[in-house]
């Protein structure tokens, strides 16, 4: 398969590329230094990046940023940034990206454990994650041409504990290699409208 991985150079993305790259052609996408340059927060950049690639078999997003702060300190700008980037960025990727997928191709987005296991300072992440999971379930029943869509909901990654550990005390970290199996299940399986929690 020819698979576009947005965020391929990130912590989750590197695990996804290590897993899927064993069996498939992976095209790495991101804002800097990838095979393909795009910004999820800018739908026009997504369209112009995908157009020259030809038909894809799968699109994976392992990207999306959010603001982190105590609930009452999150500014309107931080809420808007989180929605524009992690939530609507991935929604636009799916809506634009489906046009470049073959019949029966797949889209895999990323939510996260905070959707139903909140931590202090993570409200904007929880909001974006919940939106992604609702979108995936809704889009699955309307996408044309047999195109599938799923989400992976990773727990906190072992590789991210240096930065995120203080926010995730008591959570069992998950290796990126195990999180990557959720993406494999979505891309290489047959289901749609699912959320694969790897936590
Ligand atoms: N790490 C964890 O423990 C964890 C747990 C649960 C969920 N998640 C979720 O998994 C996703 C990836 O997290 P991560 O820890 O792997 O992040 P990361 O290490 O910061 O990597 C993010 C990757 O995405 C790219 N990216 C970021 N914003 C982008 C944008 N607007 N457009 C295109 N590419 C963009 C970055 O490259 P450029 O900067 O070059 O664009 C980078 O390659 C996020 O949605 C995160 O919320 C992570």
Instruction: Please report the pLDDT score of residue 161 as a whole number.
Output: 98
Nearest-10 Cα torsion for 104, 12, 79, 161: 160
- What is the DSSP secondary-structure string of 86-131? IIHHHHHHHHHHGGGEEEEEEEEEE--GGGTS--TT-HHHHHHHHH
Measured distance CA(198)–CA(192) in Å, rounded: 17
Segment 128-179, tens digit of pLDDT: 999 999 999 999 999 999 999 999 999 999 999 999 999 999 999 999 999 9
Residues having CB closer than 6 A to ligand 1 are 6-7, 9-13, 30-32, 38-41, 62-65, 85-86, 89, 110, 112-113, 154, 156-157, 160, 164
Give the pair of three-digit tokens for residue 106: 């797949």
Task: Quote the ligand 1 centre to 147 CA distance (angstroms).
Answer: 24
- Cα of 11 from ligand 1 centre, angstroms: 7
Nearest CA, atom 24, ligand 1: 7
Residue-wise pLDDT tens digits, 80-124:
999 999 999 999 999 999 999 999 999 999 999 999 999 999 999
For residue 86, the model assigns a pLDDT of 98
180-190 pLDDT tens trace: 999 999 999 99
């Amino acid at each position: 398969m020819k698979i576009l991985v947005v965020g391929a150079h990130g912590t989750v993305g590197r695990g996804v590329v290590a897993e899927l790259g064993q069996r498939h052609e992976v095209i790495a996408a991101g804002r800097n230094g990838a095979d393909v340059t795009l910004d999820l927060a800018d739908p026009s950049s997504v369209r112009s990046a995908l157009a020259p690639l030809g038909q894809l078999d799968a699109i994976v997003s392992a990207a999306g940023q959010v603001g982190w702060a105590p609930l009452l300190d999150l500014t309107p700008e931080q809420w808007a940034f989180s929605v524009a980037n992690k939530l609507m960025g991935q929604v636009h990727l799916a809506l634009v990206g489906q046009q470049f997928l073959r019949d029966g191709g797949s889209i895999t987005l990323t939510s996260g454990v905070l959707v139903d296991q909140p931590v202090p300072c993570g409200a904007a992440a929880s909001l974006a994650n919940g939106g992604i999971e609702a979108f995936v379930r809704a889009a699955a029943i309307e996408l044309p041409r047999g195109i599938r869509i799923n989400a992976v909901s990773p727990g906190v990654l072992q590789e991210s504990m240096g930065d995120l550990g203080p926010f995730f005390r008591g959570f069992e970290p998950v290796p990126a290699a195990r999180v990557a199996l959720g993406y494999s299940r979505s891309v290489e399986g047959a289901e749609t409208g699912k959320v694969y929690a790897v936590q």
